[in-house]
Amino acid sequence: MASGNGSRFAARPISGGGTPTDEWRDWVHRIPALDLTECPALIIVAPHPDDETLGFGATASLLRSRGVEVTVVSATDGGGSVPGLSPRERRWLERDRRAELRAAMKILGLGEPVCLGLPDGELCDREPELTVRLADLVTAGPPGTWCAATWRGDGHPDHEAVGRSAAAAISGTHAVLLEYPVWMWHWARPGDDAVPWHRMAMAPNDQGASTRKRQAAATFQSQLVPYEDGTDVVLPPFVLERLFAVGEAVIR
């Protein structure tokens, strides 16, 4: 398993645009399909509110519409996405992001998310705690439960920490780990040696679920518009459009 791609991500700042969507369009059609009939229950683990929606939201919504139980876990409340905030302003941002997450889950047809409230940007230091919390959720599910977490090689330290914790949490259980990339589509290129393409599968592209995903993503206004005058948006439009265009992939 490739991991620790923080240097690759750092070398391609978001402002630079990353790998164009057109480079991915033909490539993703080569990736085999993910069989959703194998999923008895799903736990999605996101480092920050919005990662679950952007990385695996359409699939989660589709599974729920088919009667599969889906639990969304947000490791942090995302208070670190805007730098330079005072402690009070950071609490306000965390409040806003929790509200955005709840609104997004309603649009996707999912239940109330589990918000662990761990510190944004510090998940590498909290992996043991996160692992225990996830293990409790995994063992409460039926055998074969899918645990979908951000990929251990995604490039963002919180994303990679969540992937490592999820992998540790399912160890010794009958759960199945799926890792979904988010920032990989930005810094990697088709055929990149840092990505285990041979273990990747693409989720079905369901039009209704994809529409719900777009609507849910739009609730995260704290990330889509400048949080304060003079600040940049956290997620520029081209980042979202690239994720919508490539679809949802998992590494198994």
Strand blocks (E) in the chain: 41-46, 69-76, 114-118, 146-150, 176-180, 200-202, 249-251
Position 3, amino acid: S
Task: Provide the pLDDT for residue 3.
Answer: 57
State how far Cα 36 lies from the chain centre: 18
The CA distance from 33 to 129, in Å, is: 34
The CA distance from 84 to 118, in Å, is: 19
Write the DSSP string, 90-130. Answer: HHHHHHHHHHHHHHHHHHHT----EEEEEPTT-GGGGHHHH
Supply the pTM of this predicted model. Answer: 0.96
Task: Provide the pLDDT for residue 249.
Answer: 98
Task: Provide the pLDDT for residue 1.
Answer: 41
Task: Provide the pLDDT for residue 212.
Answer: 98
Spans in the chain with pLDDT lower than 50: 1-2
CATH 3.40.50.10320 fits 6-251, yes or no: yes
Partners of 147 in beta bridges: 43, 177
Partners of 178 in beta bridges: 148
Task: Provide the pLDDT for residue 108.
Answer: 98
